[in-house]
């Protein structure tokens, strides 16, 4: 425990889509000090709180990271330089990110951090295993993209550090989160991309025939599952985070059309060979150990996402 007599957690990528929501969920818990570390290329997305300290810095700056980690008990690593779409276009982009992630973990360990939480990817790590069946944490990972390969590599390094330094860790294999603060650029998600184009009267593009499906989870639900569990003793190293439900691209278009009461023009294109037809994961392990989460329905989550987008001037949802 840190000298502040309450746990200190450093969130790397704290101003990102996922990280900012985790900051908010931790802040309201109280009795914890949150250090929000990010380069802050946009204004803070999380809400100001007495127990949240904003730390501006680059992940390439060892000294800034050492200062952030000094006296900290935990880190939550919620940073990803790429996504499956980007990595498919540039299969080497994730390699630098992988190396730097491992270096950051070792820096944190040397500064006394006792537990690391890593936001991994459910669909990308399981790959074919989640496409052909329901992927439980015991399923053999079979990633088909450099993005998934690198996420899985980070997980293996965490196990290595546990054996070498006895540093505890927990991996969250997150499905497809959506909701407020998800930015349109960098292909961060189909929902913000679709919504942005629809509101600007542009055609939307869909790979395949629209029957491709994913497990979509409202971001606040995912962040709460992470915030409520990461400091607790964990029986396992890996947990899936998702809704347990499948939603197709055509379902998303239909729900957007109904909610916005607007015609939508769709262009169907051939899907790349590395794209997965579906990704189905089980959240049974998480529920058994940490309790059944209260999940937002897709219709309600999408309505909140649209409302947030319409109330902001920035290109994020």
Q: What tens digit of pLDDT does each residue of 39-75 get?
A: 999 999 999 999 999 999 999 999 999 999 999 999 9
How far is 71 from 7, CA to CA, in rounded Å? 9
> Distance between alpha carbon 49 and the CA centroid of its chain, in Å?
22
Per-residue model confidence as pLDDT tens digits over 264-301: 999 999 887 777 889 999 999 999 999 999 999 999 99
Mean pLDDT, range 201-226, rounded to an integer: 95
pTM exceeds 0.75 = yes
Residues above pLDDT 70, as percent of the chain: 93
Look at residue 186 and tell me whether its pLDDT is greater than 60: no
Domains in the chain with CATH codes = 8-178+217-243 (3.40.50.720)
Predicted local confidence at residue 310, as pLDDT: 85
């Amino acid at each position: 425990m840190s000298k502040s007599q309450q746990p200190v957690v450093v969130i790397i990528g704290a101003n990102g889509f996922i990280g900012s929501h985790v900051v908010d969920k931790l802040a309201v818990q109280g009795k914890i000090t949150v250090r929000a570390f990010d380069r802050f290329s946009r204004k803070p997305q999380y809400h100001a709180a007495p127990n949240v300290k904003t730390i501006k810095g680059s992940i390439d700056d060892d000294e800034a990271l050492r200062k952030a980690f000094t006296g900290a008990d935990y880190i939550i690593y919620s940073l990803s330089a790429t996504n499956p779409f980007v990595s498919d276009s540039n299969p080497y982009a994730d390699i630098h990110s992988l190396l730097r992630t491992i270096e950051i973990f070792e820096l944190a360990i040397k500064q006394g951090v006792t537990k690391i939480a890593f936001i991994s990817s459910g669909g990308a790590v399981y790959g074919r295993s989640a496409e052909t069946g329901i992927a439980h944490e015991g399923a053999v990972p079979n990633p088909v993209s450099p993005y998934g390969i690198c996420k899985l590599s980070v997980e293996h390094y965490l196990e290595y550090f546990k054996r070498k330094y006895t540093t505890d860790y927990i991996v969250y294999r997150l499905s497809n989160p959506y909701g407020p603060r998800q930015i349109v650029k960098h292909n961060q998600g189909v929902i913000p991309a679709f919504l942005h184009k629809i509101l600007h009267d542009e055609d939307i593009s869909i790979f395949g025939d629209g029957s491709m499906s994913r497990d979509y989870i409202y971001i606040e639900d995912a962040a709460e599952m992470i915030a409520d569990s990461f400091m607790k003793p964990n029986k396992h190293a890996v947990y899936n985070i998702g809704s347990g439900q499948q939603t197709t691209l055509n379902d998303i278009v239909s729900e957007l059309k109904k909610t916005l009461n607007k015609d939508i023009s769709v262009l169907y294109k051939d899907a790349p060979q590395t794209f997965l037809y579906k990704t189905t994961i089980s959240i049974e392990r998480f529920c058994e150990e940490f309790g059944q989460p209260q999940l937002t329905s897709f219709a309600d989550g999408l309505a909140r996402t649209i409302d947030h987008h319409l109330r902001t001037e920035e290109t994020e949802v």
